[in-house]
Structure 1
Amino acid sequence: MAIVKPFKAVRPTRDKVALVSSKSYDIYATEELESKLKFNPYSFLHIINPGYKYHKQEISDEQRFKLVHNRYLEFKEDAVFTQDNNPSFYIYQKITTISSFCGIIAATSVEDYYNNVIKKHEGTLHKRELLFENYLKNTGFNAEPVLLTYPDNDEIKTIIQEYKQKRAEYEFSTTDKDSHSLWIVNDIEDIEKIIAVFKKINTLYIADGHHRSTSSCLLAENIAKQNPEHTGKENYNFFMSYLLPESQLDIYEFNRFIKDLNGLSVDEFLIELDAFFKIENKGQGLYKPKEKHQFSMYLNGDFYALSLRKSAYQFTDALSELDSEILRQTVLKPILGIEDIRNDSKIVYSQNKSDGLELKTKVDSGAYKVSFGMLPTSINELKKIVDSGLLMPPKTTYIEPKLRSGLTIYEF
């Protein structure tokens, strides 16, 4: 039984929303970020990059968090942001040149996270958890929802379709040619319908935002300990999420780039691979795998097709069947000597939304010796692993939509 709750979002006014909302801070190149901060006084980037106001980019975390809070208050005082009077759900649609996403922004339960109603598929770094918890504690808000997914549901789909027939509160486009729309659900009957439908859903899966959700839970736990009147209904017991049906998720793979062959020559490396894979030289023409347990490899000017020899590899659980895990167990660890795939400097990852050409270009540049590509993980594979109580290796999935910051803000 999943608990969802309406909340009073702090939002940009309709006339400024296109100027306020931003992509995640770390997506911007340095020059683009500088331009946004210089020419757009309403950008949410001014809040999360507050040192710009003082021409000071290098500040401590504590200083930055306090300044973030101050800039946020300024946006509220200047009426760039206003808070809704009534608790609401928010239907948010994003349409790109290749995909369309439409789901519900809501407050989701910390209790559900601890009770495994909300399930994760990736591990988190405790250092990052503590950093973001400290950020939330000092700023008092979260402006970027966790992306959760659920099995497609006709009742929720009907409610969303009814609202999409009405005029949206927000309708705007961004320079990357994406269009954004948001509808406010504050009708009590519709709110109760949404709550009731989600109560019948047994599991929500975290698609993106593992550190945000874990940090929110740590914050709730610590605040509750300090609150003698804790009831479990306070805002800090929930975190903002974007709930999207699983059929609308776009899942891409990450390519792997390796800086050296662990002391092996090209021929020696191919011989080592032959123990696990049937190897076909595909020449210089771009090759992409066509089925699971196949990999593309670019090495020494040629593409190769690697097909797993199933007699040489044992499937023991859902994780062992995952292509990223197969590559780790057969190549990265035993042959290339990469023990820690999260932190080893010899391996670099890049999400693959294109035709895979970077597998060739980055190796040809001399920066890497070999690269590997694979098919994306399916939602069913993800769920099977999660439901088995297992976690995926780092950089297994790149999931969209990526959400803009500052459209709806959740205060603790």
Structure 2
Amino acid sequence: MPKITPFKSIRPKPELASRIAALPYDVYNRKEAVMEVNREPLSFLKIDRAETCFTDETDTYAPKVYAKAKALLDAMIADGTFVTETSPCYYIYELIMNGRSQTGIAACSSIDDYLSQLIKKHENTREEKELDRIRHVDATDAHTGPIFLVYRSRKEINEIVDTAKKMRPLYDFVSSDGITHRVWKISDMAVITRLEALFDALPCTYIADGHHRCASAVKVGLKRRSEHPCYTGEEEFNRFLSVLFPDDQLYIMPYNRVVKDLNGLSPESFLEQIERAGFKVEYTGDRQVSPCRKGTFGMYLPDGWYLLSAHDSLLSSDPVKGLDVSVLQDNLLQPVLNIQDPRIDKRIDFVGGIRGLDELERRVSSDMAVAFSMYATSISELLNVADAGLLMPPKSTWFEPKLRSGLFIHKLT
């Protein structure tokens, strides 16, 4: 049912792959992006975030920024930094973090599958975040960052992947953050056809990470269709770049929360309100709290750490209401701290679990009043929400390791 297709990838010369491959554009703020491009001038981040080539006064979303991204990409293709495949291929992409491996298939997925919900999402998108990537994809005429998709593991697909990994890799390097990246190419038409048939037999795939990039790619595809009313469906703009992973190999870290103020409450009143809301509160002092089971939360205030345990009355079997991020939002953030809509409220911020608990302490000592450490959402919870046709609260999952941009580029024409 979900359709995948091979593609003529534009990819780095093997000896340059480790320098070009970059973390996703939205992992960095502007200052961090500039520092990274200065550290590694070949980093693909300079194309994904072309504002790094301008002074701080330049608007991140100015038309000349997207024009610069196109010029940089075109120049790196012209000078041989990137090479272009002569025939469509699939790629096997393995990432190893702390000894743990996950291996996916780089392929193009169908915008029609997204529109018909054969590619299921679990998160809403924000229009302003989509617009940036729409402009970037349209200007560069390329998908430069793959969408992280997941499928329910299948033995037959795993066997093809394992066989491919016995070949000599196309790329094999360790990135600056310690993640091992290996890539193998599949160009054998019999294997390509077999993979297409196996994915066609799946009921659906799921977006794990990259909802905004996916929605943007689809909207650019629809724009190109309107510009080419005689399109056949076989044009490259009908597809988007993805890497598809089996669900049993993925690792989700918590997505923690920090809030700017206590909604006018004193620390004492705040703690009382939390207990009234249905949480058991235990002070742990300097001992950091990383929740070890569902229904528990760490909380950090200037005087130290607390362990919060939700009473049974706050828990739910509903796929969304039962998520820990929902329990915290519905029973503490909203009623006690008055965070009504975490998607737009400027008083709340989100901290990926990869940054650790020290980052929560740092934020409270600098620009925030309270921090919450979360128990990670599981992959089964994510799939259950998507299968129910429901949506998670924003910032419910933080996947690690992150897929690199610049290893595979898919041109729309």
Matched with 1:255 is: 256
Q: How far does the alpha carbon of each residue in 1:184-206 deviate from its partner, in whole angstroms, 9 at most, with x for none?
A: 10101000111011011112110
Matched with 1:73 is: 74
Are 1:213 and 2:217 an aligned pair?
no
Matched with 1:44 is: 44
Give the deviation of 1:103 after TM superposition.
0.9
User: Aligned equivalents of 1:52 and 1:350: distance in 2?
Assistant: 23
Question: CA 1:254/1:42 → structure 2, altered by over 3 Å: closer, same or farther?
Answer: closer
User: Aligned equivalents of 2:136 and 2:30: distance in 1?
Assistant: 23
User: Aligned equivalents of 2:388 and 2:280: distance in 1?
Assistant: 30
Matched with 1:199 is: 200
Question: CA 1:355/1:63 → structure 2, altered by over 3 Å: closer, same or farther?
Answer: closer
Query: Contact 2:289–2:373 (CA<8 Å) still a contact in 1?
Result: no
Give the deviation of 1:119 after TM superposition.
0.7
Q: Secondary structure at the match of 2:15?
A: coil
Give the deviation of 1:30 after TM superposition.
6.9
- Counterparts of residues 129-148 of structure 1 (less than 5 Å): 129-148=130-149
Matched with 2:8 is: 8
- Counterparts of residues 17-32 of structure 1 (less than 5 Å): 17-27=17-27
Q: How far does the alpha carbon of each residue in 1:146-187 deviate from its partner, in whole angstroms, 9 at most, with x for none?
A: 000111111111111111111111222222222221111010
User: Aligned equivalents of 2:55 and 2:272: distance in 1?
Assistant: 56
Matched with 1:389 is: 389
> Which residue type is aligned with residue 144 of structure 1?
G
Are 1:409 and 2:409 an aligned pair?
yes
- Counterparts of residues 234-245 of structure 1 (less than 5 Å): 234-245=235-246
User: Aligned equivalents of 2:366 and 2:14: distance in 1?
Assistant: 49
Matched with 2:63 is: 62
User: Aligned equivalents of 1:211 and 1:108: distance in 2?
Assistant: 15
> Which residue type is aligned with residue 108 of structure 1?
S
Give the deviation of 1:95 after TM superposition.
1.8
- Counterparts of residues 5-404 of structure 1 (less than 5 Å): 5-27=5-27, 37=37, 42-50=42-50, 58=58, 61-275=62-276, 276-311=278-313, 313=314, 315=316, 317-353=318-354, 356-363=357-364, 365=365, 367-404=367-404
Q: Secondary structure at the match of 1:289?
A: coil
Q: Secondary structure at the match of 2:321?
A: helix
CA RMSD of aligned residues (A): 2.3
Give the deviation of 1:82 after TM superposition.
1.7
User: Aligned equivalents of 1:308 and 1:208: distance in 2?
Assistant: 28
Query: Contact 2:360–2:371 (CA<8 Å) still a contact in 1?
Result: yes
Q: Secondary structure at the match of 1:79?
A: coil
Structure 2 unmatched runs, 5+: none
Question: CA 1:278/1:178 → structure 2, altered by over 3 Å: closer, same or farther?
Answer: closer
Q: Secondary structure at the match of 2:390?
A: coil
Question: CA 1:327/1:162 → structure 2, altered by over 3 Å: closer, same or farther?
Answer: same
Query: Contact 1:11–1:407 (CA<8 Å) still a contact in 2?
Result: yes
Structure 1 unmatched runs, 5+: none
Query: Contact 2:97–2:401 (CA<8 Å) still a contact in 1?
Result: no
User: Aligned equivalents of 2:17 and 2:355: distance in 1?
Assistant: 30
Give the deviation of 1:337 after TM superposition.
1.1
> Which residue type is aligned with residue 225 of structure 2?
A
Query: Contact 1:128–1:211 (CA<8 Å) still a contact in 2?
Result: yes
How many aligned positions are there? 410
Q: Secondary structure at the match of 1:172?
A: strand
User: How high is the sequence identity, in percent, across the aligned residues?
Assistant: 35
User: Aligned equivalents of 2:130 and 2:346: distance in 1?
Assistant: 22
Give the deviation of 1:99 after TM superposition.
2.5
> Which residue type is aligned with residue 349 of structure 1?
F
Q: How far does the alpha carbon of each residue in 1:131-157 deviate from its partner, in whole angstroms, 9 at most, with x for none?
A: 322221111001110000111111111
In terms of mean alpha carbon deviation, does 14-23 or 181-190 score higher? 14-23
Give the deviation of 1:294 after TM superposition.
1.4
User: Aligned equivalents of 2:53 and 2:253: distance in 1?
Assistant: 37
